[in-house]
Amino acid sequence: MSTSTISIDVHLDKDKVPEQITWKADNSTADEAQKARAMMLAFWDGADKSALRIDLWTKEMMVDEMADFFYQTIMTMADTYNRATHQQELVDDMKKFAKEFYHKFRQSQAKENK
């Protein structure tokens, strides 16, 4: 059995606010740690039937990037759910929600920029 390690480093400022997030995976083609402005990490605890999560973002993360990040995350969660369950109707609902969320975000941005 083989093992793969993913390392995540979070550099904090004096107030413990993330300034930089970097990650590296053993089996990655990247030679150096990759930078990220945000991350979401979730584990399923089968014994407690609960999700354990770490959600972090840096000071550099812009609001429009956060909307893109959430849209893409919800869409890929829908794809993952589809591969695991083949519940197409629920997958379609998730993707519909993601598209509506992103559309509403863009509308709110347009209003603010007027």
pLDDT of residue 111: 86
Whether pTM > 0.75 for this model: the answer is yes
**Token pair of 56 as six digits:** 């972090």
pLDDT of residue 47: 97
pLDDT of residue 96: 98
Mean pLDDT by 10 residues, the chain (114 residues): 92 96 90 94 97 96 97 98 98 98 95 83
pLDDT of residue 114: 77
Q: What's 33's DSSP letter?
A: P
Dihedral pair phi/psi, residue 46, rounded to 5°: -65, -30
Q: Is 21 buried (19+), middle (13-18) or exposed (0-12) by CB count in 10 A?
A: buried
For the chain, the domains span 1-59, 62-114
